[in-house]
Amino acid sequence: MKKNLKMTPEGTKDFLFAECSAMDYICSSIEKVFVKGGFKRVITPALEFYDVFSIPSSGISQESMFKTTDNKGRLLVARPDSTLPIARMVSTRLKNNTLPVRLYYKQAVYRNNPSLAGRRNEFLQMGVELLGAKGKRADLEILTSAIKSISAVADDFRIELGHAEVFNALSKELDIDDDYKEKIRVSIESKNYSALNNLLDKLEPCKTVSAIRSLPSLFGGEEVFADAYDICKGTGAEKALDYLHSIYKELSVLELGNKLIIDLGLVQRNDYYTGIVFTGYINGIGDAVISGGRYDDLLSEFDAPMGAAGFAIDTDAITMKHLSDDNVNYSDNPDVLVFAEDGHEMKALKYVDELNEKGIKAQFSVLETLEETEQFAKSRGIAKVETV
């Protein structure tokens, strides 16, 4: 049998040198925003019980989780997400804490993606959770934190904002079963106008049906609200729309211009989100790098009902994009290589420290001779060799 001795599993990779430096830079830029906002770091285990992720609204499919068992035969998974473990933790360890709590995380998540699609099965995510608070203030804080985080690492970005209740309220007014509702939701999510029309044509025409028909096209700037009010007038979506509009107006002081988009067709994981939902995109990355929103029902699943909102950032994707930018240079070369003559090793080591303290990147040569040291410096492109 051939051993898989020299390769990593599909969807995983080693990170070397510049990749690590770039990742550190991206993570610390985001971390600064989190810490300034008063969010405290938590770490949850990489392995969790399957049950944590199998709650009805989790939206994480069984197929996408890596599974194993513990020594009692109970099913474990490599965490596919950090929010659910944090909800578990808050509902137990922090249940007597004064609310709200602000938490942030920086840890890998694991997803078993279809093979050979070039997707990552392990990737680092950072995110925040604001638990035990509902309402506009909490929503505004989460949104501005997301905007600050993405601005800290990119200039050309878009944040799109929607509300889970727009679709949920409308679909409740229709006499359809859950399967049919899900089909409609999927076609809105993928902006699949032809499939959506086919589904809606089978229903009795009414105000609600025509409102749902327009959802995927209702995205853009503030002008969306005028259209949306026309279309949703008299339906259950009006309340959510009013709320969304007030949030949008508050955010206008940030002068984001066209970087802030309204998208009423934002309906992903609609069983999970209960209020605002948002995603963030960065020019040059083909997938969303931020996703988040309000999920007030989640903590009830863990018998600790409370308001909750948060978002996750795909820091891996941002790091790779950052590395491909032309002006980025993570040279790991020292400025000076210090060679010690026999008997002067400790003195040379001290000299290295002194140089480093002055801000000159110095490194101690562990090679036996000056010739070897000079050769090494030459092949690595280190400009200077000093002898002590």
Best CA proximity match to 282, nearest among 313, 254, 318? 318
d(CA 265, CA 253): 25
Question: Would you count residue 160 as binding other proteins (CB under 8 A)?
Answer: yes
Number of Cβ within 10 Å of residue 342's Cβ equals: 6
Give the angle subtended at the CA of 295 by the CAs of 184 and 157, to the nearest 5°: 80
Show Cβ contacts of residue 225 under 8 Å, excluding neighbours closer than 6 positions: 241, 244, 245, 248, 262
CA distances from 176 to 183, 190, 258 (A): 11, 20, 37
DSSP output for 141-206: HHHHHHHHHHHHH-SSEEEEEEEHHHHHHHHHTS---HHHHHHHHHHHHTT-HHHHHHHHHTSPP-
Q: Which span sits near other proteins by CB under 8 A: 7-15, 77-85, 283-291, 296-304?
A: 283-291
Decide whether 219 or 229 has the Cβ nearer to other proteins.
219
Separation between Cα atoms, residue 262 and residue 247, nearest integer Å: 11
Position 261 contacts other proteins (CB under 8 A)? yes
222, 242, 287, 332: residue in contact with other proteins (rule CB under 8 A) = 287
Binding of other proteins by 156 (CB under 8 A): yes
> Does 17 engage in binding with other proteins (CB under 8 A)?
no
CB of 160 to other proteins, least distance (A): 6
- Residues numbered 89 to 128 that lie near other proteins (CB under 8 A) are 117-118
Nearer to other proteins, 301 or 316 (CB): 316
Question: Per-residue x/- marks for other proteins, 167-196, CB under 8 A?
Answer: -----------------------xxxxxx-
CB of 265 to other proteins, least distance (A): 9
- When asked if residue 220 is in the footprint of other proteins (CB under 8 A), the reply is yes
Least separation in angstroms between CB 222 and other proteins: 14
Pick 197 or 246: Cβ nearer other proteins: 197
Query: In what order do the strands lie in the sheet containing 362-364?
Result: 362-364, 336-339, 384-387
Q: How far is the CB of 114 from other proteins (least distance, A)?
A: 8
Q: Can you give the binding site for other proteins, defined by CB under 8 A?
A: 117-118, 156, 158, 160, 190-195, 219-220, 261, 263, 281-283, 285-288
